[in-house]
Structure 1
Amino acid sequence: MMRKLFVLLCALTAFMGAHAAAQPVVSPGDVNAAGELRMLSQRLAKSYVQLGLDVVPAAALEQLQDSIVRFERNLERMQALAAAVPPAAPAIERLRGDWAALRAAVAEPADRARALLASRRSLDVLESAERLVIVLEVAADSGGARRVIQAGRLRMLSQRVVKAYMLYSWGADTAASRSEMESAADEFGRSLTTLAALPGNTADMRAELSEIALQWEWLRTALSVEGAGSYRLVVAEAADSILAATDRLVRLHQNVESR
């Protein structure tokens, strides 16, 4: 009897070890957290520019502070992955350095020169975060992770396009700011079309995609109005609405991937 129990326990231990080994090191939540770093880099810079323009400054300050807290929390989560995913370590180290530079850039009150510096630093952070996302996507080895990343990119673009719009409306390096705004807007539109065409979208996903499309049309209209400083508030509010909807979409894909 004892021998049978011993054999059973050994078999169970072996099964549990094999099952644990089969579990991916990188979870859908890890992929989402890394992708969110991209968005937070642009949200932080956008909020900083809004403060400089005095566009709903109380909300902008709250968003800036929230972005810092969330970025550092997610960065610590990435650091915890470094041992399990060695290729991620260099990307995380670079990200830390770029993040420190961005934090320093937004430490003083915003004027046009500092706003431009913050935007450039935010793009460095964005590039480093993209590299990390690519590494984690490979480690996750899952088609579902790709969907989380694709949907998460909409979050970032919603903030990047408005950051560039705010800079452009402020007269801060207008040619470059306009180019960034138009490029981000074009990518947002293409990405939204691609996501809507993916097979396997659930009813909830389709509902969120429809909401995003409606909000996006409203935002595109506001972006196209030349020289209307009063539209800054409209653009800021539309960006917040799109960010909320895109975040819900990301979490829907994450939940499907986690099953």
Structure 2
Amino acid sequence: MMRKLFVLLWALATFAAAHAQAQSPAVSPGDINAAGELRMLSQRLAKSYVQLGLEVLPAAALDQLQDSILRFELGLERMQALTVAVPSAGPAVGRLRSDWSALRTVVAEPADRTRALLASQHSLAVLDGAERLVAALADAAGGGDARRIGEVGRLRMLSQRVVKAYMLYSWGADTAASHREMEAAADEFGRGLAAVAALPGTTADVRAELAEISLQWEWLRTALSVEGAGSYRLVVAEAAESILAATDRLVRLHEPPQSR
């Protein structure tokens, strides 16, 4: 009798553990958000480095650069730990670590036009690795929330990439390529904003945040279009931080309530 009871209790415990594991996926919305933040930090770091070279808000740019390095490395360690539960993310994390090391080496030296352009090139390699990581984690999560957070989170990255390209362009660093990157990132931001606004189940808080971002974006887009106005570098740099803060709030509004 006791043996049967023991077997029954063991079976119940095993079922409960398996059920709990099924209810707690290896990849959480917070993990997707953290991976998506690495995309943004790659471009924020490069943008801040270019700003330092241009001496546009240099104290703030240095703070942003150091903050980006710290946050990226913390996020990278989180992603490395996650590969234990999600082995499919391992190759993306390995590549990301290698590309990140190359970018860090470049920005350790004082910025000039040549090194700023090199930093941008390395930042795009890091961005590509982070995109692959987000995709791998979204596949592992297998849910709509993960993909939605990934899509909304791209706006954070684009807010930094477009300004990084603008700064390079205004500095005369490979002007044709920098201008193409700026225009492409700006167009993608506009399309992304419209796509997020069209997502089903949008709340009043999300709509309010989207309206604020749209206003800020139109103002920034106007500043980006002014040719040869070096004084607009300051305006654009400040606008980038405002839009980044707003898009970060937007991402968090799309996280499931239990994961915030």
TM-score by length of 1: 0.95
Paired residues of 1:157 and 1:185 also in contact (CA < 8 A): yes
Paired residues of 2:197 and 2:210 also in contact (CA < 8 A): yes
Question: What does the per-residue CA deviation read over 1:120-164, in whole Å, with 9 as the maximum and x for residues that have no partner?
Answer: 000000011111111101001001111100110000000000000
The range that moved more, 86-95 or 160-169, is 86-95
What amino acid is aligned across from residue 165 of structure 2 in structure 1?
A: A
- Aligned partner of residue 87 in structure 1, secondary structure: helix
Q: 1:4 to 1:202 in 2, by over 3 A?
A: farther
CA–CA distance in structure 2, aligned partners of residues 222 and 78 of structure 1: 37
CA–CA distance in structure 1, aligned partners of residues 146 and 22 of structure 2: 19
Deviation at 1:14, TM superposition (A): 2.1
Q: Which residue of 1 aligns with 2:21?
A: 20
1:166-181 equivalences in 2 (<5 Å): 166-181=167-182
Q: Which residue of 2 aligns with 1:230?
A: 231
Root mean square deviation of aligned Cα? 1.7
CA–CA distance in structure 2, aligned partners of residues 178 and 17 of structure 1: 53
What amino acid is aligned across from residue 128 of structure 2 in structure 1?
A: E
Paired residues of 1:98 and 1:124 also in contact (CA < 8 A): yes
- Residue identity over aligned pairs, in percent, reads 75
What amino acid is aligned across from residue 34 of structure 2 in structure 1?
A: A
CA–CA distance in structure 2, aligned partners of residues 156 and 206 of structure 1: 20
Question: What does the per-residue CA deviation read over 1:164-216, in whole Å, with 9 as the maximum and x for residues that have no partner?
Answer: 00000001100000000000000000000010011101111111111110100
CA–CA distance in structure 2, aligned partners of residues 155 and 257 of structure 1: 22
The range that moved more, 120-129 or 6-15, is 6-15
The range that moved more, 109-118 or 6-15, is 6-15
1:20-99 equivalences in 2 (<5 Å): 20-99=21-100
- Aligned partner of residue 154 in structure 1, secondary structure: helix
CA–CA distance in structure 2, aligned partners of residues 32 and 148 of structure 1: 6
CA–CA distance in structure 2, aligned partners of residues 2 and 214 of structure 1: 71
Q: 1:210 to 1:107 in 2, by over 3 A?
A: same
CA–CA distance in structure 1, aligned partners of residues 243 and 131 of structure 2: 21
Deviation at 1:11, TM superposition (A): 2.3
Deviation at 1:13, TM superposition (A): 4.8
Q: Which residue of 1 aligns with 2:219?
A: 218
- Aligned partner of residue 228 in structure 1, secondary structure: coil
Q: Which residue of 2 aligns with 1:186?
A: 187
Aligned: 1:153 with 2:164? no
- Aligned partner of residue 241 in structure 1, secondary structure: helix
CA–CA distance in structure 1, aligned partners of residues 117 and 14 of structure 2: 58
Deviation at 1:16, TM superposition (A): 3.4
Deviation at 1:8, TM superposition (A): 5.6
Deviation at 1:10, TM superposition (A): 4.7
CA–CA distance in structure 2, aligned partners of residues 258 and 141 of structure 1: 16
What amino acid is aligned across from residue 108 of structure 1 in structure 2?
A: E
Q: Which residue of 1 aligns with 2:133?
A: 132
**Number of residue equivalences:** 259
Paired residues of 1:144 and 1:257 also in contact (CA < 8 A): no
Deviation at 1:19, TM superposition (A): 2.0
Q: Which residue of 1 aligns with 2:116?
A: 115
Q: 1:202 to 1:4 in 2, by over 3 A?
A: farther
Q: 1:161 to 1:257 in 2, by over 3 A?
A: farther
The answer for unaligned runs of 5 or more in structure 1 is: none
TM-score by length of 2: 0.95
